Structure 1
């Protein structure tokens, strides 16, 4: 097809899009040479994002809805069967129908062991075909669940447009991509770009191969450090306007810990965000990667151009945290995927190759100054955690974000929760010594919720090197959002 034919199809679509549904059977008559309607349909599909069109079941195209993305989400109970079947097909192509047994099963189990061991030691992993398949079996289900929860929250907060352009940096075998595709309603438009240089890109492309509907996708096999996001935008411009050549969402999913200078790389990708765009960083919940994520967050937000939207919002203006803040969220486990059970059973059934935990650290950054809480504390009412040394042993009022689930390790121990207000120099932990209806919001609140503490006793815990915010019968805790 020549460019003149494409131009004429676009011009007719632009003229008729607000008049009536665009029918390729009609439009082909208005194009010089009358190309086959199937050719017109293909052009409209390829240009749909730039033209703001969605394809309906009857084969016609209509204007895509404007505004914010609205999704339906009730949690993740299991890794979807259709996604798992694609992974099983890849495993069968690689190792035969009984890929989980014999030499192929032994090799795959040994590679997964090696991946986990290298991860615990902080060592790099060589991404060949076997490693990519190991990630698909062992990590893809929980990565999918994690991304589903966080992306659904972003949509619920109105941070994602219904015509959505996404850059997934270090996309791996497809956790965020599949989660996003499953969340999108039928009338949403998605322009998805993945940056993945390793053999994981082969798995990702296979997972996306039969994607239809109103989705345009491309996998860029470049290192995150080398990829030019502006180049990808130039190639897929969606029209006029300040944000025409910008991404609405940039995702770093479990990749920052693998970069030599993660802050510098992430800072460069901030420049590719739309003015009202969002950068989402995800990391495993273990101590090293979760704390590494917070270091990048602080480099970008406290020493750079971004603002923390969630969860570790800086409530006090011109204040930055210096505490360790090992903070992560936890969701219900997913069901054991059949591919993990097969691999584990063939290796002795010890559970070594089952991974159903959904625990993760995350950071949501913005360029427009917007945060998850429209509140500015008043020193006349609330005490900043930065001044804790001045009011230790006193009862005070605090505004704080709940940054953990219950951390108490012994049965019958006092419930314990990490808190933060964005100003703390050291960690603060709420300790519930006397539970009551007046403070039950602390226990019931979700991770990341804003809480108001009234008459809480602040003590220094020398053993832990942290402050305890004692919640007793005299303390009132309410949700502040």
Structure 2
């Protein structure tokens, strides 16, 4: 098929799309040479996003819905069976029906150990076929859950359009891709692009094969630093995802800075990182370089409440969701290796940053200095009782049973970490415990003390303190 035929199909589809459903059986008659209807259907599928059309069950095409994406989501209990089976099909091709046992099982377990050790040591990981399979077994289920939670929140906040163009940088074996695909309703339109140079792209390609008729996808097998997201022919993206990849980039801030420029005017950049101390803190460091000194602003969760203020605290902040069920493939691999739990990974804990270029924030609130004290000035009111606004940036961090509940707070101005310590629970301050990660809280009459041991400020919440969710 030549380019002229493709253009004629596009032109006719563009003309008729708002008149009646596009039927390839009819449309082919309007094209010079009358290409087979199957050819017309293929072109319509390939051009669906640019034409703004979706395919219906009867094979016709109609205009895709416009507006913001609405999704149904009630948490993640388990990694979907169909994806797990596809991963196990790849494992069977590699190591036979009992891939988890014998020499193949030992080899896979040793590779996963090596991946984890290199990660803890901050060393580079060589991505070959075995490493990609190790990631798929050990990391894909929880990466899927993490991405689905955050993407569902973005949709609930109205940040994602129904016609969605996505760039997934460092896509790996497919956590964000699969989560996004499962969240989308049938009448949504997805143009998905992955940037993944390693053997993980082979796993991703396998998992994306049956993506549905209204999903167009492409894998760019190149480094994030070498891919060109902007340029004369480049599209603008509604969503750009950096999923657990910042720690692998030579200059994460510079790379992120470059990709921010590829966002649509109302686009969103989502950066995810594991919850461990090093990667979570690195995420905040990169966030500050790109948002406080660059082209983006922080939508959440670490909102800058005070104008022209930037945080400089350590901010080891991460969210936590309920564990998922143990995937069968992890259970088999672990049981064959002694059943110690070493190869089971069901925790759903993650740090994340949501950046935009339009100044929009999840909490569109500016504190009043006549009422609220900025955390940046904590040194001036230590030992005093004050009122302030703060975002809850952790779950309970108390390490000992029976210890006072402890929560990280931030208002975007803090130069040192602030921790709310609940010393006396009451109905007046119960919102501190009940609030979700990322919720904005109003503190009235809180006592601020300096903690020498932790080199941080303690915000003491006692019987005299009122804590409410701020609106």
The TM-score with structure 1 as length reference comes to 0.97
Instruction: Tell me how far apart the structure 1 counterparts of residues 274 and 168 of structure 2 sit (CA, whole Å).
Output: 17
Q: List alignment gaps of at least 5 residues for structure 2.
A: none
Instruction: Tell me how far apart the structure 1 counterparts of residues 187 and 414 of structure 2 sit (CA, whole Å).
Output: 44
Once the two structures are superposed, what CA deviation does each residue of 1:318-362 show, in whole Å capped at 9, x if it has no partner? Answer: 000011010000000000000000000111111000000000000
Determine if the alignment matches structure 1 residue 384 to structure 2 residue 380.
no
Matches within 5 A, 1:465-480: 465-480=455-470
Determine if the alignment matches structure 1 residue 273 to structure 2 residue 272.
no
Once the two structures are superposed, what CA deviation does each residue of 1:270-328 show, in whole Å capped at 9, x if it has no partner? Answer: 11111111110000000000000001000001111110000000000000001101000
Correspondence for 1:56: 56
Determine if the alignment matches structure 1 residue 352 to structure 2 residue 342.
yes
Correspondence for 2:214: 214
Once the two structures are superposed, what CA deviation does each residue of 1:429-472 show, in whole Å capped at 9, x if it has no partner? Answer: 00001001110001000000000001111111111111111111
Correspondence for 2:68: 68
Q: Which runs of 4+ in 1 moved over 6 A?
A: none
Matches within 5 A, 1:336-375: 336-375=326-365
Residue 148 of structure 1 contacts residue 176 of structure 1 at CA under 8 Å; is this kept in 2?
Answer: yes
Correspondence for 2:109: 109
Instruction: Tell me how far apart the structure 2 counterparts of residues 294 and 344 of structure 1 sit (CA, whole Å).
Output: 34
Once the two structures are superposed, what CA deviation does each residue of 1:53-101 show, in whole Å capped at 9, x if it has no partner? Answer: 0001111100001111111111000000111011000000000111011
Correspondence for 2:47: 47
Query: What number of residue pairs does the alignment pair up?
Result: 471
Correspondence for 1:408: 398
Residue 186 of structure 1 contacts residue 213 of structure 1 at CA under 8 Å; is this kept in 2?
Answer: no
Which secondary structure does the structure 1 equivalent of 2:84 belong to?
helix
Correspondence for 2:233: 234
Which secondary structure does the structure 2 equivalent of 1:230 belong to?
coil
Correspondence for 1:293: 283
Instruction: Tell me how far apart the structure 1 counterparts of residues 68 and 429 of structure 2 sit (CA, whole Å).
Output: 35
Which secondary structure does the structure 2 equivalent of 1:213 belong to?
coil
Which secondary structure does the structure 2 equivalent of 1:229 belong to?
coil
Cα RMSD (Å): 0.8
Instruction: Tell me how far apart the structure 2 counterparts of residues 374 and 263 of structure 1 sit (CA, whole Å).
Output: 26
Once the two structures are superposed, what CA deviation does each residue of 1:227-280 show, in whole Å capped at 9, x if it has no partner? Answer: 11136x826xxxxxxxxx301111100000011110001101011111111110
Which secondary structure does the structure 1 equivalent of 2:230 belong to?
helix
Residue 112 of structure 1 contacts residue 131 of structure 1 at CA under 8 Å; is this kept in 2?
Answer: yes
Which secondary structure does the structure 1 equivalent of 2:211 belong to?
coil
Correspondence for 1:91: 91
Correspondence for 1:7: 7
Determine if the alignment matches structure 1 residue 396 to structure 2 residue 386.
yes
Q: List alignment gaps of at least 5 residues for structure 1.
A: 236-244
The TM-score with structure 2 as length reference comes to 0.99
Once the two structures are superposed, what CA deviation does each residue of 1:151-198 show, in whole Å capped at 9, x if it has no partner? Answer: 000000011111000000000000000000000000111111000000
Matches within 5 A, 1:424-463: 424-463=414-453
Determine if the alignment matches structure 1 residue 333 to structure 2 residue 313.
no
Correspondence for 1:241: none
